[in-house]
Structure 1
Amino acid sequence: MPLVYAMLAMVALILALTWVALQTQVALAGFLNGESVWSKAQKQAVVDLDAYASSGAAADLAKFHRNWAVLNTDRWVRDKITAGTYDYDVVVDALRRSDAMPTAIPGVIFMLHHFSRAPYMRDALQAWRSTDDAIAELGTIASELQRAHARGDMPMAEVARHRARIGAINDLIEPRSKLFSLQIAQGSVWLGQVLFGGVLAAATIAVLLWISMARRTLASIRGTEERYRLLFDSASDAIVMVDETSGRILDANRAASEWTGRRPGELIGDRFVHLFTQAVSQLEGRAATNALLGVNGTRLPVETQCSLVNWGDRPVRQAIIRDISERVAMERERRIAAEALASIAEGVIIADPQRRVISVNEAHEQLTGFDAEALRDKRFDATRRLPDGHMLPQSIWDDIAAGRNWLGEVQSVRHDGTSYPEQLSISAIRDTDHQVLYYVAVFTNISAIKQQQQRLEHLARHDPLTGLVNRAEFERYCNDAIAIAERERLATVVLFIDLDAFKIVNDSYSHAIGDKLLVKVAERIRRQLSDGDVAGRIGGDEFTVLIHHLNLREDARVMAERLLAVLSEPLVVDDCEIVLSASIGIAGYPLDGLDASTLVANADAAMYAAKTEERNTLRFYTPMMHANTSRRLLLASELRQALVREEFRLVYQPSIEMRTGRIVAVEALVRWQHPDRGEVLPSEFIPVAESLGLIRRIDEWVMQAACAQIEAWDMAGMPPVRVAVNVSARGFGHAAFVDGVSRALQRRRVPPGRLMLEITESAMLRMGDDTERTMRALHTLGLEVAIDDFGTGYSSMAYLKLPAVAYLKIDRSFVSGLPESADDVAIIEAMLAMSRSLGLKTIAEGIETEAQHEFLLRAGCAEGQGYLYSYPLAASAIERLMSPRSYHVPTKLRLVPPKRGL
């Protein structure tokens, strides 16, 4: 329609311009007619006046006056119109009297009024005006001739003179009249050209404008179609246009082509129902699910929605096909998740932000007896308390709301009113504004784990073979008894019992018979105890007995003699009758020692004296029994000199990763290279150093030397390995210990992760309340701690939860019996299970056989250390072992060949 309207406007414009040109040409024609009348009147006036001059006829004079009046009228009209001060009707009447063409009169007036200064018109009017005086003179001549003829005969000379004047005037007017006519004609031609040019230009502009409008309109139509096609083809959903009458496809977008694997030309003309696996009748505006068929047999889950539209007079159904694969997959995943949630063994609770239960899984009902209906709209923490009986504090919910998860032990109440220990984990699901939408609690019954933990704690404090307390537990009881004895001013006595010739029993029968024999000996000792007395096994065939609330040390003789008597009675083990004897040493507080370790050591010395002198007897401790005191004093003096003379050195025993056989760490072991006696083992000089207070200085030296060696290895380009350093109880408990470790690391620029500290259970036990403070400080530094000799001492579970504790070292005494000893197997498996639950890595020491290696590997032990892999080596040997150029490992157990003398 815009093009039609533009075309009509263009035609109207051209017609209007043509009409204007026509009217202009009519005006020009009238003007030319007027010019012709004026020229004719001028020429006739000259002719008539000349004739009148010759004949004096009145008719000639009348003709002259008539033509001369026309000339004067034309001049008057010209001047009035060009001046602009004329009466239109008067001018029209004057022109009519001058014989002007009536139809041309308006054009003449228009041309004189508006185009008097136009090209050619200006020159024509100028030529016309130049004849005004001459025409006026003709009137003067006519008057003179009229007077002359009125007087009578006019001389011929006078006639000739007047005719000469008339001829001169005619000569003057004639060229100007021709010039006027020429200029008018040329002006007419020029104006015609201008009008034609104007009409042509207007027509050209109109045509160009119409063409431009047409192009824009067509471009707009084409752009609309392209945008439609672009939107149609770029739609993420498949769109198919279907003829409502025939059900055949009229058009399909790119997505429909790609999903079906067919070109658009193949789709057009096919029936719409052929695109799907099943024909489903679909109501307009409602979505229906189906499966879209591909050329290769694939089936794409889709959702279709149709709407009826009109293409001209044809009803067309527009089908939008949406891929719902992701939604189907998500629904399947949600269904699987729901089924998995219902089938997992852990109880799961989903609660609202007020902690009211929304849903629970099936395991929840099995564990607690509460079903979903029984708990609906009830707070799930209402049936749970902390192990000490208090409600879950608000700080837990604040932490969860802040984005953290909470994991801890609680006491949960069942539907029948009974309670059980529960491991509870609480997390939160948040919205985009980090506001809590739901709480998710996952819990499990840890009664069995608690029982196992109690069993482990019992094993950690007791000898697994006899059930008696171990050395660390015995010393704890002994210290408690000493504290009571100090308050009540009583005596506390320690009996140290050693079986005589027990080695012969092992050699003659077997270790199994020997173990059973030790069990029976423990039972006999236990039966002789009074209430409050404690028996312990501190290793091998050595037992201890703690007797307290005695007035004198010598009051323990009765108990000792009774023990000698019952232990000397025959024992029947597996149909074997075995007769033993025992040697007993006795030391008492306060006479023989002020702490448990001293009492045990002195009772040991007394037992040694009894065994040396007689056997099957008892001895009370006396200072004379330490015949090696002078040697120890000499050793103490030499120890001080050894620190000054730098006689200590470090050797390194590798620790391998059980799974790969790769060396991941080394343990730094101190050795004393005595100038006269050669190498002195730590077991000989460490106790002396501890008693003299030199152990801290030795610890500091070892720490500095180990850090220096780490720095040297790093500079040599060795692969980074962890270096473990043993720390004594006295050094670990000193107030400046942590600062000293920090300075050593900073001085050598050693990363904290490269150094690990090994601390025995007994060392931490002796520290008491300072243990946690020191551990937290080490954790802040980034250091990791390994609990050494685990299972041989007190084995408090509390120490395993301290921040810096990351490794658990299994003592060689439990490894040596693997895999034959069922007790050692049970202890090792329990330790590994406990370590995994606590997130600790395990290191087994003392591995000497491949059978031990294979068992520990299968059991899940992380690292191993022992003579099977390597003896302690010098730093240079470790460098050669770890050098990439020599690192060729055929099997996991040949990482470091176990050669004696390395």
Structure 2
Amino acid sequence: MQDVLNISGRASFVRRFVPVFSLSLGIIIISLLLALGAMEVLSAARAYVAGEGLWSKAQRDAVYSLTLYAQTRDPRHHERYLQALAIPLSDQRARLEMDKPDFDYTKAYSGLLGGDNHPDDIPGMIRLYRCCAEYSWFRRAVSIWEEGDSYIAQLQHLGRDLRAEVLSGRNSPKRIGAIFDQVRAVDAGVKPLEDAFTTTLGEAVRWLKSTLAWTVSATISLLIVLGVYLSSRLLAQARRTEDNYRLLADAFAHTADGIMILDNKRRIVTVNHAFAAITGYEAGEVVGRLFARPQSVKIPGPTIYAVWEDVRSAGRWEGEVWNVRKNGEVYPMRLSLSAVYDQRGGEIDHYVGVFNDISTHKENEERLKFLATHDPLTGLPNRTEFERSCHDAIARARRRGLRLAVLYIDLDNFKPVNDTYGHAIGDELLKTIAARMKQAVRETDTVARIGGDEFSVLLADLDGLETGHIVARKLLHLLSQPVMTRRGAHHVGASIGVSTYPDDGHDPRALLRLADAAMYRVKQGGRNGVSFYSTPAGLPETVTSPVTDPRLASKH
């Protein structure tokens, strides 16, 4: 490991001075970019000054054309009025769009273009507005611009009134004179705003120029100071590099994960202490050898052979594989393999493997999986697992033309025992009953606990339903027997409802629901009995007491 770090250290020592020179170049480039940015901002500000001139001229042209239209009734003058008014209205639309938090760039661009602004100036105008519209002099200029909206709206309204008067044919001199007076009043009101906007915009440009000059100067000065500081830090870091590499070597050696470095032929170059602790192989036993599994041992699941192609093609692989310790023990491990490329040619130079033993994790995972599907008290499957088993059994029965039965079992007198003697005795009783029921059915059948004192039994792969009837009676007989606990014998008994596939239902939930309904009939009839939801031919509908039958002595 030390040899590898020494080689890397010498290469790094040559490269660590490059940032000093790169930093100087970066300062120059950033300074140029700042200067170019300042020029763009000033250009956009000048574009707004030019745009104000276009806005003012368009407003005067609109007033002039509307005046001529009032005097001559010539529609061409009205058309010129509309064309002139379109310029400030288009600028207004652009400003309103740029005021939105999530503005539409295309609409803003189209609005400024409709205001006769030069296309090359528009992107800069949009950026300047979005950036600076809320600051200092620009905020004042925008406020004056917004104030002018009311005058433009009045001028637009007066143009519509005049047009309507002319087209009506009345041509009332009094009415037209009144409109003309209002047009002159609008024109007189706009003039001070235009002057104020021009003055304010000029002040904004001068403020912006001064601000940019100070910003650029301060930034360049800061970059120079930062460059000197960073250069000194880089030189100081060079003196600490050797210590850092020694620290890296110590971390490599003492980390809890197994680490190995391999050459491009997959031969092990070096390993750390955790590698030996996990695999049982010391460094001297594996250095120079291929990272591979023993050929004589059969390993389950994916092996390390399966991952090399992915590492070569994608540069990295991570997942779970199986390996063999020196003592022959097979164990699962979480492995991450990464290809490290030669910076000059882009070819794989070596591989880095990091792994850890996940045997304990796998055991915990299996335990959690069991708890998710089983009742922690009795160890029986829970409702979810029962429904899954039932679903599989139905699919199997459908393919083979078989039947199955679902038994819903409710303990009749469990609650008095639990209330009288406490939960500990109640739990002991439930575990005993669960064991009895498991012993009474085949290994291929399923006994589950689906509630506090409620159980279900799945009798799968039945040729006929007589077997289901026999097992139900057998369980009734067993559950009618006394149950011994630390507090003595307890007589519990049970009510059992039975539903069958395909007679009663075709899915697990339906079969459980119908078996529950059949069990409820037993409860209503006095408890301690068996009832089929739909009674098979030749079988009694309900059995209400344990029955002595030689066939009940053995499993079906």
Superposition TM-score, scaled by structure 1 size: 0.32
Is it true that 1:375 corresponds to 2:281 in the alignment? Answer: no
Partner of 1:794 in structure 2? none
Q: What displacement does 1:327 show?
A: 4.2
Is it true that 1:482 corresponds to 2:394 in the alignment? Answer: yes
Partner of 1:423 in structure 2? 334
Summarize the Cα distance change of 1:400–1:352 in structure 2 as closer, same or farther, 3 Å threshold. Answer: farther
Matched to 2:275, the amino acid is H
Q: What displacement does 1:480 show?
A: 2.5
Partner of 1:524 in structure 2? 436
Matched to 1:614, the amino acid is G
Partner of 1:614 in structure 2? 526
CA distance in 2: counterparts of 1:481 and 1:460, whole angstroms: 21
Partner of 1:498 in structure 2? 410
Give the one of 461, 468, 481 matched to 2:380. 468
Show CA shifts across 1:533-576 (max 9, x none): 11111122111111133333233222112212221222233334
Partner of 1:549 in structure 2? 461
Partner of 2:312 in structure 1? 398
Summarize the Cα distance change of 1:330–1:512 in structure 2 as closer, same or farther, 3 Å threshold. Answer: farther
Is it true that 1:579 corresponds to 2:503 in the alignment? Answer: no
Matched to 1:486, the amino acid is R
CA distance in 1: counterparts of 2:433 and 2:249, whole angstroms: 59
Summarize the Cα distance change of 1:415–1:610 in structure 2 as closer, same or farther, 3 Å threshold. Answer: same
Partner of 1:458 in structure 2? 370
Matched to 2:525, the amino acid is E
Show CA shifts across 1:75-115 (max 9, x none): xxxxxxxxxxxxxxxxxxxxxxxxxxxxxxxxxxxxxxxxx
Matched to 2:490, the amino acid is I
Show CA shifts across 1:309-347 (max 9, x none): xxxxxxxxxxxxxx9853453222222222222222211
Q: What displacement does 1:620 show?
A: 0.5
Summarize the Cα distance change of 1:431–1:510 in structure 2 as closer, same or farther, 3 Å threshold. Answer: same
Q: Which structure's residues are more often helix, by fraction? A: 2
Q: What displacement does 1:619 show?
A: 0.5
Summarize the Cα distance change of 1:449–1:414 in structure 2 as closer, same or farther, 3 Å threshold. Answer: same
Show CA shifts across 1:597-639 (max 9, x none): 221111111111111222111100039xxxxxxxxxxxxxxxx
Q: Indicate if the aligned counterparts of 1:535 and 1:546 stay in contact, CA closer than 8 A.
A: yes
Is it true that 1:331 corresponds to 2:245 in the alignment? Answer: no
Q: Which structure's residues are more often strand, by fraction? A: 1
Q: What displacement does 1:386 show?
A: 7.8
Q: What displacement does 1:494 show?
A: 1.0
Aligned ranges 1:113-152 → 2 under 5 Å: none
CA distance in 2: counterparts of 1:550 and 1:386, whole angstroms: 36
CA distance in 1: counterparts of 2:242 and 2:484, whole angstroms: 71
Matched to 2:340, the amino acid is I
Partner of 1:387 in structure 2? 301
Matched to 1:554, the amino acid is E
Aligned ranges 1:736-815 → 2 under 5 Å: none
Which structure would you say has the larger RCO, counting Cα contacts within 8 Å and 6 or more residues apart?
2
Q: Indicate if the aligned counterparts of 2:312 and 2:339 stay in contact, CA closer than 8 A.
A: no
CA distance in 1: counterparts of 2:236 and 2:371, whole angstroms: 57
CA distance in 2: counterparts of 1:386 and 1:583, whole angstroms: 47
Q: What displacement does 1:373 show?
A: 2.0
Q: Indicate if the aligned counterparts of 1:408 and 1:424 stay in contact, CA closer than 8 A.
A: yes
CA distance in 2: counterparts of 1:369 and 1:387, whole angstroms: 22
Partner of 1:342 in structure 2? 253
Q: Indicate if the aligned counterparts of 2:382 and 2:450 stay in contact, CA closer than 8 A.
A: yes
CA distance in 2: counterparts of 1:603 and 1:386, whole angstroms: 43
Q: Which of these two proteins has the greater Rg computed from alpha carbons?
A: 1
Aligned ranges 1:25-44 → 2 under 5 Å: none
Matched to 1:487, the amino acid is R
Q: What displacement does 1:474 show?
A: 1.5
Summarize the Cα distance change of 1:341–1:574 in structure 2 as closer, same or farther, 3 Å threshold. Answer: farther
User: Which runs of 5 or more residues in structure 1 are unaligned?
Assistant: 1-235, 237-322, 624-902
Matched to 2:427, the amino acid is D
CA distance in 2: counterparts of 1:608 and 1:328, whole angstroms: 85
Matched to 1:611, the amino acid is K
Show CA shifts across 1:638-690 (max 9, x none): xxxxxxxxxxxxxxxxxxxxxxxxxxxxxxxxxxxxxxxxxxxxxxxxxxxxx
Is it true that 1:591 corresponds to 2:514 in the alignment? Answer: no
Matched to 1:529, the amino acid is V
Partner of 1:361 in structure 2? 272
Matched to 1:587, the amino acid is S
User: Which runs of 5 or more residues in structure 2 are unaligned?
Assistant: 1-19, 21-233, 536-556
Q: Indicate if the aligned counterparts of 2:293 and 2:324 stay in contact, CA closer than 8 A.
A: no
Deviates more, 1:520-529 or 1:325-334: 325-334
Q: What displacement does 1:443 show?
A: 0.6
Partner of 2:513 in structure 1? 601
Is it true that 1:533 corresponds to 2:445 in the alignment? Answer: yes
Q: Indicate if the aligned counterparts of 2:412 and 2:492 stay in contact, CA closer than 8 A.
A: yes
Summarize the Cα distance change of 1:549–1:430 in structure 2 as closer, same or farther, 3 Å threshold. Answer: closer
Summarize the Cα distance change of 1:498–1:588 in structure 2 as closer, same or farther, 3 Å threshold. Answer: same
Aligned length: 300
Partner of 2:360 in structure 1? 448
Matched to 2:323, the amino acid is S
Aligned to 1:411, the other structure's residue is in SS state strand
Aligned ranges 1:84-95 → 2 under 5 Å: none
Give the one of 423, 446, 470 matched to 1:558. 470
CA distance in 1: counterparts of 2:487 and 2:236, whole angstroms: 77
Aligned ranges 1:853-868 → 2 under 5 Å: none
Summarize the Cα distance change of 1:438–1:391 in structure 2 as closer, same or farther, 3 Å threshold. Answer: closer
Is it true that 1:436 corresponds to 2:352 in the alignment? Answer: no
CA distance in 1: counterparts of 2:399 and 2:520, whole angstroms: 31
Aligned to 2:305, the other structure's residue is in SS state coil
Superposition TM-score, scaled by structure 2 size: 0.50
